Amino acid sequence: MAGSKERTIVAAHRQLEYCIKIAVPQSPPPARGYPVIYALDGDAVFGTFAEAARLQTRKPHGHDPVIIVAIAYPSGEPFDMDRRCYDFTIPADPDKLPPRPNGQQWPEHGGADHFLDFVERELKPELEREYPIDKRRQTIFGHSLGGLLVVYAMLSRPQSFQRYAAGSPSVWWNGHAVLYGLHAFQGWCDQLEEAELPRLLITIGAEELPDMVQDAERLAERLHPLQATGFQAELAKFDGESHVSVLPAAISRVLRFALAPD
């Protein structure tokens, strides 16, 4: 896209390559720097995110300008199943994974912590050296297995981002094991002031598989009691949208979620 930049970063772990796509606003940054949205499956969502941000940040009525950072893979595929299955999932018992629609074995999985280490220790510092970034306004968005990664990141690393956006999250992975982190997350919320707590947005298409819709709704329900601590979670369900068609609507909502005032 015009005005966007792309670079390759080789991660320390396994020397894995990532294609980083960056859309930087033409307008100057706010006083504290640009907010940032980190988006997974970059080849699937970067163009939509960048264009939506360009339109929705127009003054005088738009949001603050925002940097979009999309994390993609050298294959250029919208959804590189082998790479994303490793990066976005926690270790799993094979007996707790459903058969794949194509009948093949699941690719290597369980690298979520290595991927999050890459984002936190390698990608973020590189971008912060180059751009004026507001470290207090950082959002991560992922869809499907990427949504699972976002939920896991919030529960296990709640201070890495201020806002977490989980699109159609695959919380079914490994028998819903990601939800085991809820108890520790609640303890963490109990210790902090409301202003220090992250926020969560869950998006889902109303026409997705019934189990996916129910899991999104149940996740929101499980998190509801944490409102007593000041933690905020919201569920956005989009009528008429399926697992892939929901992405543009979800991305538009994520921008508003990420850039709304505290």
Which ranges constitute the DSSP H helices of 41-111?
42-56, 81-87
CATH code for the domain of 175: 3.40.50.1820
Count the domains in the chain. 1
Q: Which domain holds residue 226?
A: 4-259
Partner residues linked to 130 by β-bridges:
none
Please give the average per-residue pLDDT across 162-184, as a whole number: 97
CA–CA distance, 204 with 168 (Å, rounded to integer): 5
Nearest C-alpha neighbor of 127 from the set 35, 30, 15: 35
CA–CA distance, 164 with 199 (Å, rounded to integer): 6
Q: What is the sign, positive or negative, of the torsion defined by CA atoms of 245, 249, 255, 258?
A: negative
Q: What is the pLDDT of residues 227-242, one digit of tens each?
A: 999 999 999 999 999 9
Q: What is the pLDDT of residues 3-31, one digit of tens each?
A: 799 999 999 999 999 999 999 999 999 99
Q: What is the overall mean pLDDT for the chain?
A: 96
What is residue 123's DSSP assignment?
Answer: I
The whole-number pLDDT of residue 59 equals 86
Q: What is the pLDDT of residues 135-171, one digit of tens each?
A: 999 999 999 999 999 999 999 999 999 999 999 999 9
